[in-house]
């Protein structure tokens, strides 16, 4: 095997890797995202690629019956029959930020262009939807306004709702490298839990879960009160400041400190950093996004950057992407309202362009239901066919008892490289190849596109995801729409669709990668993409859902695992310290309930219950933390307890704020 280069298939940093002739994975020193650095997870990828693989199509008429192996021709016949006999509105497609860009593009074209329905969503709905909506509202378009280069000359790093040391380890190491090089550099973490990121930061502010909007509004109050705003930037390049300030005035530090459970001085401290630092980069992830108040949290943070003129050389708001190719999926428009090139189905000009580009008629102007809304439609019998690609909703979606009911009622297609929890509910299972077995591109958090080369053959009859949809499209009479013979052809078509857009990659080809689209700062000396050309402040309104229970359950990532452990959970080296499934409690809360470390406890609410081993940690009193990714082989998934309520603007579920009660099941020493 000759040396092959690819992007890491785990977090959204987008690290460039290569496999050498001995099958060892190493960091690519020529790649701008990681400069040769690497974390543990991809090191063991080659060792687990064949464990638990799906290698042939499997089918059963009724759930609960044994599967039987079938040919691909039979599988395509079944798919064509099941799709054709239904109204398109009964169909739903749920795909993934782990797919290659070419694959997301073809699936999106199949659904929105060929079937003429927008009933498609991706698991980015669970992680990046709130950030996408906030970027669009504030700047007029999706797309992070800065790059990783901004880490290398910043002096203040603000992590809020992000455990980057665990979730984006190579990026966080780059921050620490900057801190070592510059004695004045400061790292601040705002989080209810003393995470690994918080422990390695200079300052940790333990805000009460769900109250980030209040905290950030109060910072804006201080900035204006102290005269620390950039009046020239606000006047010349923004609009809506007074409306945003009006909301912020509801939360002076004396009020906000009580709501947020912090000291007033913490609020003044953050305000002074925004006012006086040379360059401040804020980075956030699911702690802001996965909330019923998620878009407002994002906007409250962006408001601080706009108020101090920090959208360029002096700093920027940097949303950290959760999955390896969620950025690529956003570029092709794979959520319910999207079209390629950051277009929107609700925009007539965008629809008309894509209809002409694809050679189709009747792209629907109505966004389809988000995945959580679709689950309800499945439970009511309004959606009767679900095709899941490269994701595991039976573990990752909220309110899993509802999800199980929905999956049991539909004709379910699961297309994946591995057997996972969702397969248990399937009628038809399609074996897919994975990164390392196919060619295509991914886009990392800072807009850098990387070519993933194949370094091995896919096992059995597994096929690339783009080829499965291409062959089905041809079988259903759409040969003209799906002429593709390679991922390169798909990339060229998609790239041309972006010409003239913010995410223009029309001049790129595989031989020029890795490459980043856009300038280092998207809006440094050009208009924002709003109608007025000015960035928009928004009043960041606060809502805290009412939850019964003695504790607020917060969920998050495991250090050496990826999402639902489909690949990483097969590596013994990565499981050390990650099992058994645990919950982190404040020792004071535990003492009050008579709970000892290593006791087994039941966490329960009206939505369900799970069992966990207790470990002690510095989590804010009244809060507990549990990793979300454990599949059923380790016990009950955490998301049995999580509400399916969503942000009203982004549709992103409130995955980090669930009321629960705790009772001891088995005491320590008797496990």
Q: Residue 638: what pLDDT?
A: 97
Give the ranges where 362-479 is alpha helix by DSSP (H): 371-379, 393-396, 400-409, 465-475
Rounded average pLDDT per 10-residue block, the chain, 671 residues: 90 96 94 97 95 98 97 98 98 98 98 98 97 98 97 98 98 97 94 98 98 98 98 98 98 98 98 98 98 98 98 97 97 98 98 98 97 98 98 98 98 98 98 98 98 97 98 98 98 98 97 97 94 98 93 95 94 90 97 96 96 97 96 95 98 97 77 42
How far are the Cα atoms of 60, 168, 425, 462 from residue 434, in angstroms, in the given order?
24, 21, 22, 9
Give the ranges where 315-464 is alpha helix by DSSP (H): 326-332, 348-358, 371-379, 393-396, 400-409
Determine contact, residues 109/481, Cβ cutoff 8 Å: yes
What is d(CA 131, CA 81) in angstroms, rounded to the nearest whole number?
A: 38
List of residues 6+ apart from 235 with CB closer than 8 A: none
Strands (E), 494-635: 515-516, 535-536, 551-556, 582-585, 600-605, 608-616, 623-627
Residue at token pair 């923004």: 238
The residue among 254, 342, 260, 338 whose CA lies nearest residue 297 is 260
Residue 160 β-bridge partners: 190, 284
Domains of the chain, with CATH numbers? 58-124+324-444+459-513 (3.40.50.740), 129-319 (3.40.228.10), 551-666 (2.40.40.20)
Q: Residue 670: what pLDDT?
A: 44
What is d(CA 261, CA 206) in angstroms, rounded to the nearest whole number?
A: 8
Q: Residue 668: what pLDDT?
A: 64
- Assessment of whether the complete model's pTM goes beyond 0.95: yes
Return the SS3 of 305. helix
Residue at token pair 């999706």: 142
**Helices and strands counted in the chain (H then E):** 23, 28
Pairing mode of beta strands 448-452, 440-443: antiparallel
How far are the Cα atoms of 31, 162, 168, 276, 398 from residue 284, in angstroms, in the given order?
23, 5, 11, 21, 21
């Amino acid at each position: 095997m000759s040396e092959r280069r690819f992007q890491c298939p785990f977090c959204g940093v987008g690290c460039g890797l290569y496999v050498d002739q001995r099958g060892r994975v190493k960091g690519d020193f020529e790649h701008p995202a990681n400069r040769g650095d690497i974390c543990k997870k991809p090191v063991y990828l080659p060792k687990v690629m064949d464990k638990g693989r799906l290698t042939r199509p499997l089918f059963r008429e009724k759930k609960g019956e044994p599967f039987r192996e079938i040919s691909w021709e039979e599988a395509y016949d079944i798919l064509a029959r099941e799709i054709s006999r239904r109204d398109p509105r009964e169909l739903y497609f749920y795909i993934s930020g782990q797919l290659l860009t070419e694959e997301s593009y073809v699936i999106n074209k199949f659904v929105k262009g060929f079937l003429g329905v927008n009933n498609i969503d991706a698991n980015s709905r669970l992680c990046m939807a709130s950030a996408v909506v906030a970027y669009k509202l504030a700047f007029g378009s999706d797309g992070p306004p800065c790059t990783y280069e901004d880490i290398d000359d910043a002096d203040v790093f603000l992590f809020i709702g992000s455990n980057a040391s665990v979730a984006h380890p190579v990026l966080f190491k780059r921050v620490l490298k900057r801190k070592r090089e510059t004695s004045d550099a400061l790292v601040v973490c705002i989080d209810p839990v003393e995470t690994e990121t918080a422990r390695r930061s200079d300052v940790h502010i333990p805000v009460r879960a769900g109250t980030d909007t209040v905290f950030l509004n109060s910072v804006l109050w201080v900035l204006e009160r102290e005269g620390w705003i950039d009046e020239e930037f606000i006047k010349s390049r923004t609009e809506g400041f007074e409306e945003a300030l009006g909301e912020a005035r509801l939360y002076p530090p004396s009020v906000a400190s009580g709501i947020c459970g912090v000291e007033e001085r913490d609020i003044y401290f953050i305000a002074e950093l925004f006012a006086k630092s040379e360059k401040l980069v804020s980075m956030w992830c699911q702690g802001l996004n996965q909330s019923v108040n998620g878009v407002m949290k994002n906007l409250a943070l962006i408001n601080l950057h706009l108020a101090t003129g920090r959208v360029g050389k002096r700093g920027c708001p940097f949303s950290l992407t959760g999955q390896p190719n969620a950025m690529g999926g956003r570029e092709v428009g794979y959520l319910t309202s999207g079209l390629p090139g950051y277009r929107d189905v609700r925009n007539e000009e965008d629809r008309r362009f894509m209809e002409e580009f694809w050679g189709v008629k009747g792209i629907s102007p109505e966004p389809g239901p988000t995945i959580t809304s679709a689950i309800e439609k499945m439970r009511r019998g309004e959606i009767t066919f679900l095709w899941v690609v490269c994701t595991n909703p039976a573990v990752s979606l909220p309110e899993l008892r509802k999800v199980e009911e929905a999956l049991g009622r539909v004709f379910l297609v699961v297309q994946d490289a591995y057997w996972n929890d969702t397969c248990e509910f399937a009628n038809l299972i399609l074996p897919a190849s994975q990164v390392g077995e196919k060619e295509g591109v991914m886009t990392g958090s800072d807009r850098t596109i990387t070519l993933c080369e194949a370094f091995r053959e896919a096992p059995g009859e597994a096929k690339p995801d783009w080829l499965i949809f291409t062959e089905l499209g041809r079988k259903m009479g759409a040969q003209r729409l799906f002429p593709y013979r390679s991922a390169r052809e798909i990339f060229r078509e998609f790239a041309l669709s972006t010409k003239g857009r913010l995410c223009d990659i029309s001049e790129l080809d595989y031989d020029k990668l890795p490459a980043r689209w856009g300038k280092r700062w998207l809006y440094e000396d050009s208009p924002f993409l709003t109608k007025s050309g000015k960035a928009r402040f928004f009043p960041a309104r606060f809502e805290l859902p009412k939850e019964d229970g003695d504790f607020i359950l917060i969920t998050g990532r495991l250090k050496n695992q990826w999402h639902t452990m489909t690949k990483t959970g097969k590596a013994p080296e990565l499981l050390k310290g990650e099992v058994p499934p645990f919950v982190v409690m404040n020792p004071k809360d535990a003492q009050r309930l008579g709970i000892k470390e290593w006791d087994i406890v039941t966490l329960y609410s009206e939505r369900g219950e799970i069992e966990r081993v207790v470990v002690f940690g510095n989590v804010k009193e009244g809060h507990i933390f549990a990793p979300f990714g454990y599949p059923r082989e380790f016990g009950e998934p955490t998301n049995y307890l999580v509400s399916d309520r969503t942000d009203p603007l982004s549709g992103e579920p409130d995955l980090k704020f669930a009321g629960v009660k705790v009772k001891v099941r088995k005491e320590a020493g008797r496990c």
